[in-house]
Structure 1
Amino acid sequence: MRTPSINLRAANGKVFGDRDPFRIGIAAFVALGVLSVLVVVISTVSIGTRSYSAQLPHTAGLRVGESVQVAGVDSGQVRGIHLDGTRVLVDFTVDRSIRLGRDTTAAVKVSTLLGTHYLDIDPQGAGELRDGLVPLSQTSVPFNLQDVIDKGTAAADKLDSALLGQALSTVADTLRASGPEFLPALEGVDRLSQVVAKRSDQFGRLLRSSREVADQLAASSDDLIRLMRQTNLVVDELLRRREAIHRLLLDVRVLASSVRGIIADTKQDIGPALDEFDKVLRILKSKDDQLRGALHKLAVAGRYLANAAGNGPWIELLIPGQSDDLYCNNGSGCR
């Protein structure tokens, strides 16, 4: 049985095997080059993402190719890391559907114990990132133990080891001498902690009550401010009254000085006048009974005179032995 042969023919009817192998190799090489370029372009050009940058004080171990997460979800990739003066500029991409506001923050965080990291992006604020850059003030890096060790080593080298040893020896001697008192102190602290633990509910209620008082004070802050303003008005009024009283005291002091001067100037005249006035009072006192009797009689006489002249413009008199009344009228004579 014969196996059928397959002849590959080009568009012009020639079989591929009849073509020039050199030209076929060149065409294959060009096709591979174009395919490689397409692969590189597809890998470098992010489709469906946006490119941003972030300023960091240092890389903190972040590497190109590590993920970018938003709310714990992989949403992009670190594309590049390079120096920008004394800072590190990290280029990264984020899904186009995620909007990064002006207050967006970026933080380098440790992903695993093996040292992998990721860039955590927290979209915040309105608008868009200025120039697509997260500034240094809005970025943070994880705790770097090596930097702390390096700085701590330099600081430790500056310490006086002899003086430090002497200080530790002094502390040890002090603790050894105060051992009998130190143990009861620790026991007291332990009992205190137990009391605090047992009374945690009460402490919680106390703190809640304190919070309620604070909230009440905050709610009444306007009333307190008005009260303080009214208090200021009262204080101002008291200050004005104080000034008025001060001026009054000054005027009284001036008046007292004037009266003192008047008394000093008229002392020689007032003394004899007071002596004479005292004599008059003694005379009037000694004649008190006579004055009382005279005033009594004068009152009776005045009452009789009023009765005689109270009926009209004449005086009615009764003379014994006369049949007619004698009266005087308007100065026309009496009969």
Structure 2
Amino acid sequence: MTQFREMNPVRVGVVGTIVLVVLVLGALNIRSLPFLDGGTTYRARFVDAGGLNTGDTVQVAGKDAGRVTDIDIDHDAVAVTFTVDGAVVLGTDTTVEIATATALGARNLRVRPAGPGRLEDGATIDLDRTVAPYQLTDALGDLTDTAAAIDTEQLRESMEVLSDTLRETPDDVGAALDGVRRLSETVASRDESLRALLAHAEQVTEVLAERSDAIDALIVDADRILGELHRRRAALDTLFANVDALSIQISNLVADNEAQLEPTLGKLNAVLGILERNRDDIALAIERLGPYATELGEAVASGPFFNSYIQNLLPMQIIEPALTAALENAGITPPGGTP
């Protein structure tokens, strides 16, 4: 094995210089090396590049998350290719905006993730979800156009009318301004109350938001009830019409039979009076009817005959000889007799 001191120093120097140059260039362009870039590449189409340059930062939620890698013309728009860290998830509704990064006008790309799912690597975000910057020159141009469109003569006349009006009504204007001042003081003095009111309103809003499902269900149920009532409106109309017709018929019946009903009602009142006067006797009769019904049940429940005993129906001295003779004829010794 050849030792280092025995190697050709010229060859070692050349190889070392080449390796050093490669390392320096790699360090300066490390973000451009495809095998070291772990981010995801996307394209966004803008109506105007707005001063955005290759290498500008890409921010997500205010944090640098990638770089602009390419800017080119895509038909009637500008296509900006940029990378985003692989850990950042961009949904299908993601929007991209070219924004001002510094007061000197430096630009960056601001990405706002939104929507479900995840955009695939190389996906394009179209014009409907991108926002181009508003240039200072555009603002000055709009201001110039607006100022040029002002009718100075009409403005002068308006100012003169305003001055005349204020000159003729100084007291009213002063009172109005004083009222505005007092209103401002009142609002300022009730600042804590207003804050408490807004806080309570926020709490109510939170409660309503938490109960949104129940409220939605209540509204849906109410809508169903109203729909059912609407569907049954014809039946209800028919019912109301029939009730109205029935009331008319009853009124006519009473009117036609008033002469016959009056004596009948008088007799009914008389019967009710009799029942009222004999209420205690009727109650006592019903109370005594219970034992009688019991005895009657015992009398008829012993067979297909009716058992009954009537005391002192015939005198004893009349029935006893006949009963004794009947027993003797049957060969039965009567009680107290001689066998």
Give TM-score, length-normalised by structure 2: 0.53
The 1-side partners of 2:153 and 2:198 are apart by: 48
Quickly say closer, same or farther: Cα 1:181–1:126, change in 2 above 3 A: same
SS at match of 1:154: helix
Alignment partner of 1:91 out of 81, 84, 96: 81
Q: Distance in 2 between matches of 1:245 and 1:7?
A: 121
Structure 1 residues 239 and 81: alpha-carbon distance in aligned structure 2, compared to 1, 3 A threshold: same
Instruction: Show the counterpart of 1:53.
Output: 43
- Cα gap change, 1:153 to 1:234, in 2 (>3 Å): same
CA displacement at 1:97 relative to structure 2: 4.2
Residue 109 of structure 2 corresponds to residue 119 of structure 1: yes
Shift of 1:112: 1.7
Matches within 5 A, 1:93-172: 93-124=83-114, 125-129=116-120, 131-172=122-163
The CA distance in 1 between the partners of 2:156 and 2:79, in whole Å, is: 46
Residues 55 and 90, structure 1, Cα contact 8 Å, conserved in 2: yes
Change (3 A) 1:101 1:251: closer
Structure label with greater radius of gyration = 1
1:222 paired to 2:217: yes
Does 1:184 find its partner at 2:175?
Answer: yes
**Structure 2 contact 57–68 (Cα < 8 Å) conserved:** yes
Contact 1:101 1:129 in 2 (8 A): no
The structural deviation recorded for 1:147 is: 1.4
SS in 2 for 1:152: helix
Alignment of 1:260-271 (within 5 A): none
Q: Deviations over 1:172-200 (max 9, x none)?
A: 32233333212221221222122222223
Which is worse superposed, 51-60 or 153-162?
Answer: 153-162
Offset of residue 227 of structure 1:
4.3
Change (3 A) 1:169 1:63: farther
Q: CA deviation at 1:221?
A: 4.6
The C-alpha deviation readout for 1:72-103, integer Å capped at 9, x for no partner, is: 33332222222223322112223344443323
- SS for the counterpart of 1:206 is helix
Determine if contact 1:67/1:74 at 8 Å carries over to the other structure: yes
Structure 2: distance between partners of 1:179 and 1:150: 40
What letter corresponds to residue 148 of structure 2 in structure 1?
Answer: D
**Whole-angstrom CA distance in 2 between matches of 1:173 and 1:87:** 55
Structure 1 residue 68, shift from structure 2 partner = 1.9
Residue type of the alignment partner of 1:226: D
Deviations 1:157-183 (A, max 9, x none): 333322232223222322333332122
Corresponding residue to 2:164 among 159, 173, 177: 173
Structure 1 counterpart of 2:126, one-letter code: P
Task: Answer with 181-190 or 144-153: which moved more.
Answer: 144-153
CA contact (8 A) 2:41 2:121 kept: no
Residue aligned with 1:75, SS: strand
Partner of residue 65, structure 1: 55
What CA distance in whole angstroms lies between the structure 2 residues aligned with 1:7 and 1:206? 89
Q: CA deviation at 1:106?
A: 1.9
Query: Runs of 5+ in structure 2 lacking a partner?
Result: 249-339
SS at match of 1:60: coil
Runs of 4+ in 1 over 6 A off after TM superposition: 38-43, 247-253
**Contact 2:41-2:122 within 8 A present in 1 as well:** no
- Tell whether the 8 Å contact from 2:57 to 2:66 is kept in structure 1 after alignment: yes
Residues 1:109 and 1:239: Cα distance change in structure 2 (over 3 Å): same
Unaligned runs of 5+ in 1: 1-5, 17-26, 254-335
Corresponding residue pairs, total: 230
CA contact (8 A) 1:102 1:126 kept: yes
Tell me how large the CA RMSD over aligned residues is: 4.3
What do residues 104-133 of structure 1 show as CA deviations (whole Å, max 9, x unaligned)? 332222222122122122344422247422
- Residues 228 and 115 of structure 1: CA distance in aligned 2, closer, same or farther (over 3 Å): closer
Distance in 2 of aligned mates of 1:229 and 1:240? 17
Aligned AA for 2:79?
L
Cα contact 2:59–2:65 (8 A) shared by 1: yes
Q: Indicate how the Cα distance of structure 1 residues 8 and 236 shifts in structure 2: closer, same or farther if over 3 A, else same.
A: closer
- Is the Cα contact below 8 Å between 1:104 and 1:129 reproduced in 2? no
- Paired position in structure 2 for 1:309: none
Question: Among the aligned pairs, what percent are the same residue?
Answer: 27
